[in-house]
Amino acid sequence: MNDNLTRLFTLDGTGQLLGLPFVQSALVAAALLGLVAGVLAPLIVARGMAFAVHGTAELAFTGGAAALLIGISVSVGAVVGAVAAGLVFGLLGLRQRERDSVIGVVLAFGLGLGVLMISLYDGRAANKFGLLTGSIVSVDSTNLWVLTAVVVVVLAVLAVVYRPLLFASTDPDVALARGVPTRLLSPLFAVLIALTTAIAVPIVGAVIVLAVTVIPGAAAARVTANPLTATLLAVAFAELALLGGTVLSLAPGLPISGYVATIAFLCYVGCRLVGRARGQVRVG
């Protein structure tokens, strides 16, 4: 028990590990993912899409498992699964109740299929487990280029559609009346989420994608109503969680999931406490 605790928080050798090329690749991957996840997070929260992101991540897992089974690139499988899920969820628009149940249906089916395919796969066990928890230390230069390309594409699209997307996400009725093509933006945004998710799943795992695309936005919304400040804060929280989690996981040699999720969670709790303290001051 005590040994386990010591192992969780050890920093023995972290210094030397940080000098290794594969660790540096991992840190670059974490930073890139933190940037794009942080930018998307406030919009995901404003649109009430946390569950949709969860569904998308699980479908990326299903796609990855299918790819593993038929022997093609896991990344390709993850992209196909996530984009297909994203399009379905995006076309459902903002009608909360219907979306909720459809995501539940698709997610359950996809997860079931994924587990079945993982069980049928008789290759390396690390490959199976990696889809859920990721293996950030296995990031190679190809992964990095793909990740960079996705980040550039997502940020470029956001640069064009950000303002109407913010309008449609926070004030859908008036946005529609003002001529914002809300029907077009929903699936487009879902595809942006899907691309980010799909690339991130093999690297950091399905669990972490959810932790860094939703928690930073939810945390920021507790302490500011300024959309720009919220975005900057969310990026900061996502980077803190991903980079901090990667560094802390090095010496123990454990998956980063627990570390990243814990840091993100602490950011959220901290923001809630700050928000509550301020709220009491304001109400008097």
Partner 1 sequence: MTTVAPRGAREETATAVTLRGASLRFGERTLWEGLDLDVSPGEFLAILGPNGSGKTTLLRVLLGLQPLHAGSVLVEGTTPARGSRAIGYIPQQKAMPEDLTLRASDLVGLGLDGHRPGVGLRHRAERREKVRAALESVGATRYASAPVGRLSGGEQQRLRVAQALVGDPSVLLCDEPLLSLDLAHQRVVTELIEQRRREAGTAVLFVTHEINPVLPLVDRVLYLVDGRFRIGTPDEVMTSDALSELYRTEVDVLRVRNRLVVVGAEAPHP
User: Shortest distance, CB of residue 135 to partner 1, whole angstroms?
Assistant: 34
Instruction: Map residues 201-220 to x or -, x wherever contact with partner 1 holds by CB under 8 A.
Output: -------------------x
DSSP string across 151-174: HHHHHHHHHHHHHHHHHHHH-HHH
User: Shortest distance, CB of residue 262 to partner 1, whole angstroms?
Assistant: 22
- Tokens in use for 68? 């593993």
- Our finding on whether 93 is near partner 1 (CB under 8 A) is no
Restricted to residues 148-187, the positions that interact with partner 1 (CB under 8 A) are 158-164, 166-167, 170-171, 173-181
d(CA 41, CA 196): 11
Q: Judged by CB under 8 A, which of 224, 232, 262, 266 binds partner 1?
A: 224
Other Cβ atoms within 10 Å of 11 Cβ, number: 12
d(CA 111, CA 213): 20
Restricted to residues 18-57, the positions that interact with partner 1 (CB under 8 A) are 42, 45-46
Q: Is 42:217 a contact under the CB 8 Å cutoff?
A: yes
Nearer to partner 1, 253 or 279 (CB): 279
d(CA 61, CA 54): 11
The site for partner 1 (CB under 8 A) is made up of: 42, 45-46, 158-164, 166-167, 170-171, 173-181, 220-222, 224-227, 230, 275
